[in-house]
Structure 1
Amino acid sequence: MRKHLISAASAALALGLGLTACGSGSGSGSGDDDALVVGATAVPAGEVLSYIKQDLAEKAGLDLEIREFTDYVLPNTALQEGSLDANLYQNQPFLDDFNKSKGTDLVSVVKPYLPPMGVYSKKVKDVTELADGATVAVPNDVTNEGRALKLLASKGVITLKEGAGTTASPEDITANPKHLKFKELEPAQLPRSLEDVAAAVINNNYAQDAGLSPATDAILLESAKDNPYANLLAVKKGNEDDPRVQKLAKLLTSPEVKKFIEDKYKGSVLPVTSG
């Protein structure tokens, strides 16, 4: 059974286990001279922010503090509660679903890059080679599972019913010629599942954390064209015009960051030219 979002109790427990602070600020400051505390997953968001902190922030007059998270829920919980000033890790469909399901009021400021989702396998070289009845692991949260199924459908491996959107589920599959079985797992567990399943659809950050190169190791990779899943810089509604947030937004879409992404990730992360 796929999960919608983890419970508040689980989130509280995970906060004690899954958070790595890269700095010691308290967050939620609003003065121009206060550090901007930004939550992020390690790859690519944490690396992009670290580049900005080390090479660009001082010249721009921005004091940047980065806090790394290992899951997809706590960065939004912390942002809503005020221990973060912003976060960078999620896409618009995920944020929309989070706001709807949790009653939060988080908004996008800018969308600097796309970390394409990919299908990975140790058994086959192409998704069309999947055997009849093969098991494919997919993320168990609403928007990432829908994204995974749409990626498989783009290659004709399955067919989704007309109008199936970003929250598509296995119940929306209208044709499954290979009789694929879907194993729903926490996104962070997907790379480890490759030993046990025929293929896994893995989010970019967890693939790279596991040493996989989306550009070269994925047997199917999302295209950047008309892709709604670009990662975004999010803040709590009302803080969009915070001067520190605007400084970071400008840096995230700067030529320097574009070049950093192109040079470092070589097609595994794709810069977005407009927010």
Structure 2
Amino acid sequence: MKKKLFSFIVLAAAAVFVLAGCGGSKSSDSKERKYVVGVTTEQQKEIWKYVGKQVAKDGIKIDVKIFSGYTEENPALADGSLDLNSFQHVAFLNNFNKENGEDLVPIAFTLISPFGLYSGIEKGSTGDYKNAEKKIKSYKDLKDGDTVAIQNDVTNGGRALQLLDAIGVITLKKDAPESPTVKDIEKYNTKIEIKEIQADQIASVLPDVTAATINTNFVNDQLNTTPREAALYIDTDHLEKVNDIYKNVIAARKEDENKKDFKTIVKAYQTPEVAKLIEKTNDMPAW
């Protein structure tokens, strides 16, 4: 009888232990808050995986979803498929909100991509861009009659015009908007011809122009070089002349902009360690 009673007590204790273990697991899971962040590159995914490790101790789990372009991230954030996204600058976000009647908001600066002016190349020049024969060696070599290609979209084209203003080739009107257009040019200090071209096509027209502004991702992918190696002028070397609207941000829905967990995530992102990861991608920390 004593033996049976002892066995019963042991089994009962084991059952309590198992139930306690299950209860502990359930409690832990219920405390973990999961957020999905949308990005566009593997490099950004790695940065956010690092951030996720830092906030895990606060009960926050970050899942990172990569998108192939720039058209799906904001609709996904607006409809709740994402909790945050991290791929765009303020100008892009503002334009999306305006065109779609949304109210997504930036909650923190992340990085800023260098934006440069590059020389055209001589027709018939062979080899990659770094070894091609360049038309000019300095932006100061631009002269009357030269052609400069810029992006034909409002946000990138506006940044290109601000770059040309910064180097003194043109002067923008004092009341020019944050993203100016060619209509906002007050004066051509050097009488160049500005040719507006789709951003991803500019690299291909370098034999036909004297110089061009090119987005860094296309410099990397299409010219197989970097701004630091090849640009005649990089606007982020003169950050005081670059409008804040060209800084990339973490975006959230309006109702979530003051969420406590998001403040924790921002704090984990804006650190010296993340800054070093950003610099490895040829970008610059923007906070």
- How would you bin the TM-score normalised by the shorter chain? 0.7 to 0.9
Does the 8 Å CA contact 2:45/2:64 hold for their aligned counterparts? no
Q: State the SS of the aligned residue for 1:63.
A: strand
Task: Report the counterpart of residue 43 of structure 2 in structure 1.
Answer: 47
Structure 1 residue identity aligned to 2:274:
V
Task: Report the counterpart of residue 193 of structure 1 in structure 2.
Answer: 205
Does the 8 Å CA contact 1:94/1:144 hold for their aligned counterparts? no
For 1:101 and 1:56, locate their aligned partners in 2 and report how far apart those are by CA, in whole Å: 32
For 1:77 and 1:200, locate their aligned partners in 2 and report how far apart those are by CA, in whole Å: 32
Task: Report the counterpart of residue 163 of structure 1 in structure 2.
Answer: 175
Structure 1 residue identity aligned to 2:188:
N
What's the offset of the Cα at 1:202? 1.9
Query: Which residues in structure 2 correspond to 1:82-231 (within 5 Å)?
Result: 82-121=80-119, 122=121, 123-210=135-222, 211-222=224-235, 223-225=238-240, 227=242, 228=244, 229-231=246-248
1:186-220 deviation line (CA, Å, top 9, x unaligned): 32333333343222212233333333312231111
Task: Report the counterpart of residue 63 of structure 2 in structure 1.
Answer: 64
Structure 2 alignment gaps of length 5 or more? 1-29, 122-134
Task: Report the counterpart of residue 269 of structure 1 in structure 2.
Answer: 283
Higher helix share: 2
TM-score by length of 2: 0.72
For 1:65 and 1:32, locate their aligned partners in 2 and report how far apart those are by CA, in whole Å: 20
For 2:164 and 2:38, locate their aligned partners in 1 and report how far apart those are by CA, in whole Å: 30
Does the 8 Å CA contact 2:51/2:269 hold for their aligned counterparts? no
CA pair 186-33 structure 1, distance change in 2 beyond 3 A: farther
CA pair 202-52 structure 1, distance change in 2 beyond 3 A: same
Task: Report the counterpart of residue 251 of structure 1 in structure 2.
Answer: 268
Does the 8 Å CA contact 1:48/1:257 hold for their aligned counterparts? no
1:161-187 deviation line (CA, Å, top 9, x unaligned): 222122211111122243322222232
TM-score by length of 1: 0.75
Structure 1 residue identity aligned to 2:47:
Y
What's the offset of the Cα at 1:84? 2.6
What's the offset of the Cα at 1:247? 4.2
For 1:118 and 1:234, locate their aligned partners in 2 and report how far apart those are by CA, in whole Å: 26
What's the offset of the Cα at 1:108? 0.4
For 1:39 and 1:106, locate their aligned partners in 2 and report how far apart those are by CA, in whole Å: 14
What's the offset of the Cα at 1:65? 1.4
What's the offset of the Cα at 1:85? 2.3
For 1:86 and 1:59, locate their aligned partners in 2 and report how far apart those are by CA, in whole Å: 17
Does the 8 Å CA contact 1:137/1:184 hold for their aligned counterparts? yes
For 1:136 and 1:169, locate their aligned partners in 2 and report how far apart those are by CA, in whole Å: 15
Q: Give aligned-pair identity as a percent.
A: 35
For 1:183 and 1:174, locate their aligned partners in 2 and report how far apart those are by CA, in whole Å: 17
Number of residue pairs the alignment of both structures matches: 235
What's the offset of the Cα at 1:56? 4.3
Does the 8 Å CA contact 1:32/1:243 hold for their aligned counterparts? no
Structure 2 residue identity aligned to 1:49:
K
For 2:226 and 2:180, locate their aligned partners in 1 and report how far apart those are by CA, in whole Å: 26
Does the 8 Å CA contact 2:166/2:241 hold for their aligned counterparts? no
Structure with greater Cα Rg: 2
RMSD after superposition: 2.5
Q: State the SS of the aligned residue for 2:180.
A: coil
Structure 1 alignment gaps of length 5 or more? 1-30
CA pair 139-244 structure 1, distance change in 2 beyond 3 A: farther
CA pair 32-65 structure 1, distance change in 2 beyond 3 A: farther
CA pair 40-126 structure 1, distance change in 2 beyond 3 A: farther
